[in-house]
């Protein structure tokens, strides 16, 4: 597996990481814990060294799976987790909470669930408008001083928030959605990341599974699958977006690779400081995704892909109005 450095930091990880959320949260019924552990260990065996989780995935259960899976190989991998939400005693996610005292409490709890003495990358999961970002960065800076955290990250943060946070504690990585069907970060965010030396960790680089061709308007999503509430995943939008999947399929077939590999190779080719974190529950999909790290797209390939996809409109917003309110732009 090729390695990449996140921005100008010292954090070097596999070129493709593993987003672990879907093992426990968000995409229907969670997998059995033993199966989640086995999938994560299979990723390690295949060279993946970067694993993404969060306290609210479950809540809590995803960190527990990741912690158990990676405990035997802890010094060979980097674990990223997140703070920023309130979780009530019944394990339900409530509103935002990035108060410094809460960040410290979450860090201690995360360390226990992850069975480790340090968090390699600690993200603010969503920007909290009630807490100055300088206070958030300062709290994480204190955790870095104690050795409990190694690097600071932000998720779905806008450029002004990035600049203000970075002035207090250097930000190692920004996490946000980015893929062949969601390229918004390119216009304003990428230039600031390049300027400040911040890495980029795209989640949903496969369009929440849609870009692989495995989903169409007839696909039945589980009642607990959060895509049920996403405008881009209504049956009408899924039908309208099949044209995009068809084009991706044609481009991939000409190169002898799968749609997923084309989509991931395209993300990797955009910048050397980008590390996508596709998720899966199946080993054969894991291997397929990892194979994208060996796909080299030329400048001509990228131009052809851009030209082909620019002619295909994408239907539906990426978030519901409620979810969009949590995005700092």
What distance in Å separates the CA atoms of residue 249 and residue 262, rounded to the nearest whole number? 9
Helices (H) and strands (E) in the chain, counts: 12, 11
**2 to each of 10, 17, 206, 260, 269, how far by Cα in Å?**
16, 11, 20, 18, 13
CA nearest neighbour of 205 among 269, 162, 123, 300: 269
Query: Which pLDDT score, from 0 to 100, does residue 101 have?
Result: 98
pLDDT at 111: 98
pLDDT in tens, the chain (329 residues): 899 999 999 999 999 999 999 999 989 899 999 999 999 999 999 999 999 999 999 999 999 999 999 999 999 999 999 999 999 877 777 799 999 999 999 999 999 999 999 999 999 999 999 999 999 999 999 999 999 999 999 999 999 999 999 999 999 999 999 999 999 999 999 999 999 999 999 999 999 999 999 999 999 999 889 899 999 999 999 999 999 999 999 999 999 999 999 999 999 999 999 999 999 999 999 999 999 999 999 999 999 999 999 999 999 999 888 888 889 76
Contact 31, 65 (CB under 8 A): no
Residue 196, token pair as written in the block: 């400040």
**What pLDDT score was predicted for residue 321?**
86
Tell me the backbone φ, ψ of residue 176, rounded to 5 degrees: -160, 165
Phi, psi (deg, nearest 5) at residue 87 = -120, 125
Using an 8 Å Cβ cutoff, are 39 and 67 in contact? no
Segments making up each domain of the chain, as ranges: 3-209+271-295
How far apart, in whole angstroms, are the C-alpha atoms of residue 321 and residue 303? 33
Distance of CA 255 to the CA centre of its chain: 26
- Rounded-to-integer distance, Cα 62 and Cα 113, Å: 9
| pLDDT tens-digit readout, 141-164 | 999 999 999 999 999 999 999 999
- pTM for the full predicted model: 0.96
Q: Which of 57, 60, 123, 178 is catalytic?
A: 57
| Partner residues linked to 3 by β-bridges | 14
| Radius of gyration for the chain, computed over Cα atoms and rounded to the nearest angstrom | 19
At 287, give phi and psi (nearest 5°): -65, -40
CA 186 → CA 119, 153, 271, 314, distances in Å?
29, 19, 10, 17
Whose tokens are 């995803």? That residue is 62
Helices (H), the chain: 33-45, 61-70, 100-113, 133-146, 159-168, 185-196, 235-240, 242-255, 259-270, 283-291, 299-310, 321-324
Give the closest residue to 79 by CA, choosing from 91, 93, 65: 65
Q: What is the CATH code of the structural domain delimited by 3-209+271-295?
A: 3.20.20.100
Kindly write down the DSSP assignment for every residue of 33-82, as one continuous string. HHHHHHHHHHHHHTT--EEE--TTTTTTHHHHHHHHHHGGGGGG-EEEEE
Give the contacts of 275 (CB within 8 A, at least 6 positions apart). Answer: 4, 6, 13, 14, 15, 16, 17, 50, 173, 199, 200, 201
Active site residue 57: yes
């Amino acid at each position: 597996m090729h390695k990449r450095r996140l921005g100008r930091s010292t954090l070097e990880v596999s070129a493709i990481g593993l987003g672990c959320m879907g093992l426990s949260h968000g995409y229907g019924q969670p997998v059995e814990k033993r199966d989640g552990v086995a999938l994560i260990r299979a990723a390690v065996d295949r060279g993946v060294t970067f694993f993404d989780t969060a306290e609210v995935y479950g809540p809590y259960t995803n960190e527990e799976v990741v912690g158990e899976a990676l405990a035997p190989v802890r010094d060979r991998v980097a674990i990223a987790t997140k703070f920023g939400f309130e979780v009530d005693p019944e394990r339900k996610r409530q509103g935002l909470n990035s108060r410094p005292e809460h960040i410290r409490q979450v860090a201690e709890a995360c360390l226990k669930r992850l069975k480790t003495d340090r968090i390699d990358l600690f993200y603010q999961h969503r920007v909290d408008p009630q807490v100055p970002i300088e206070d958030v960065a300062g709290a994480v800076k204190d955790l870095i001083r104690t050795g409990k955290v190694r690097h600071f990250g932000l998720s779905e943060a806008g450029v002004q928030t990035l600049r203000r946070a970075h002035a207090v504690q250097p930000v190692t990585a920004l996490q946000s959605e980015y893929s062949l069907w969601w390229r918004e970060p390119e216009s304003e965010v990428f230039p600031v990341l390049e300027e400040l030396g911040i890495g980029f960790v795209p989640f949903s680089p496969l369009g929440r599974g849609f870009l692989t061709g495995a989903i169409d308007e007839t696909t039945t999503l589980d009642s607990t699958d959060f895509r049920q509430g996403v405008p881009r995943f209504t049956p009408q939008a899924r039908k309208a977006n099949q044209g995009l999947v068809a084009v991706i399929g044609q481009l991939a077939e000409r190169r002898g690779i799968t749609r997923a590999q084309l989509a991931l190779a395209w993300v990797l080719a955009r910048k050397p400081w980008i590390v996508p974190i596709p998720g899966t529950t199946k080993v054969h999909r894991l291997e397929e995704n990892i194979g994208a790290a060996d796909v080299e797209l030329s400048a001509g390939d990228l131009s052809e892909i851009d030209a082909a996809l620019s002619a295909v409109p994408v239907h539906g917003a990426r978030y519901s109005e409620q979810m969009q309110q949590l995005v700092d732009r």
